[in-house]
Chains A and B, each alone.
Chain A
């Protein structure tokens, strides 16, 4: 459980300090992974299958999130020719 906390914190810190969009997406992946780890550990602690079911939903959600996020990054890259997230902070059409 502590490991899940450490991994989640690492992902959060990276999300805050990196400015490359792909790295921000990767750190979201790390955070989702840590949440899934916490679910699995809790599931085995209480001997219930609910945590593993939740982990499968996290997997499905991560897949959908990555595909949409990558498409968004692609569009931004074609618009702005950079992966810097500060360049996209204005959102003026």
Chain B
């Protein structure tokens, strides 16, 4: 528990600091993925392997892809090509890659060791989570379904481009 937890925690804090101090949004996203992965390793350490996989799939997978597509959609102009060359420099992806390799090694070590977690930590199985989720928390599940539905509708409504109804001779004056 001890050493592995501190390594993962140090990587989490470092990569979060790197997220917050980057000026390029793509670099920040790369570091944020590293931070989420290290938090997932900490979840695994704390006896929640199902939550660790959910963290990777939903956070580091879905939400990051959403933000990356959004950044692409903004299409920040012709300097993208110049930046594209810069992005392929190894100094940018080297440290995130090294951190990811460290986290992966830690996880493989933990799985291969296959011991019970340290004292004071109780493993909560996914079965108990499922039983609790659809038992006493059924109303909250319905509410989160409604929240997701509202999120879909709201994102569609807000993200829609308005059709221009202005007459084409007036259009030049408007802008």
Q: How far is it, in angstroms, between the C-alpha of A50 and the C-alpha of B17 when the chains are bound?
A: 30
Contact of A67 among B50, B123, B131, B152 (CB under 8 A): B152
Most A CB within 10 A of own CB, among B131, B133, B140, B155: B155
* Residues of A with C-beta under 8 A to B51: 40, 52, 55-56
**Which residue of B is nearest A20, CB measured?**
B25
Q: B13 contacts the other chain (Cβ, under 8 Å)?
A: yes
Q: Is B105 an interface residue (CB 8 A)?
A: no
- Is the Cβ of B25 less than 8 Å from the Cβ of A63? no
Task: Tell whether, in the assembled complex, residue B124 and residue A60 are in contact, meaning their CB atoms are under 8 Å apart.
Answer: no
Whether A70 lies near B16 (C-beta < 8 A) is: no
Q: Are B129 and A49 closer than 8 Å at their CB atoms? A: yes
Please indicate the chain B residues that have their CB under 8 angstroms from the CB of A78 in the complex: 161
Q: Collect the chain B residues with CB atoms within 8 Å of residue A30's CB.
A: 16, 19-20, 32, 35
For B144, list chain A residues within 8 Å (CB): 57, 60-61
- Contacting pair B154 A22 (CB below 8 A): no
Asked if B63 and A10 sit within 8 Å, CB to CB, the answer is: no
Asked whether B121 is an interface residue with its Cβ less than 8 Å from the other chain, the reply is yes
Q: What residue of chain B has the Cβ atom nearest to residue A72's Cβ?
A: B158
Q: Which residues of A contact B123 (CB under 8 A)?
A: 44
Instruction: For the complex, give the distance between the alpha carbons of A33 and B43 in Å.
Output: 11
Once the chains bind, are A64 and B147 in contact (CB under 8 Å)?
yes
A36 → B minimal CB distance (Å): 8
**Most chain B beta carbons < 10 A, residue from A49, A63, A78:** A49
Instruction: From the candidates A43, A47, A57, A75, name the one contacting B140 in the complex (CB within 8 A).
Output: A57
Which residue of B9, B17, B43, B121 is within 8 Å of A10 (Cβ)? B17
What B residues does A40 contact at CB under 8 A? 42-43, 46, 48, 51
B13 pairs with A68, CB closer than 8 A: no
Interface residues of A in 62-91 (CB under 8 A from B): 62-68, 70-75, 77-78, 83
| Per-residue contact bits, chain B 131-167, to A (CB 8 Å; 1 contact, 0 not) | 1110001001000100110111011111101000000
Q: A56-B133, A66-B67, A73-B70 are in contact. Are A41 and B158 (CB under 8 A)?
A: no
A-B contact list, 15 entries, CB within 8 Å: A26-B19, A40-B43, A40-B48, A40-B51, A43-B124, A46-B122, A49-B131, A59-B55, A60-B147, A64-B147, A66-B63, A68-B155, A71-B156, A71-B157, A72-B158
- Shortest 7 CB-CB distances between A and B: which pairs? A64-B151, A47-B122, A71-B158, A71-B159, A14-B20, A67-B155, A49-B132
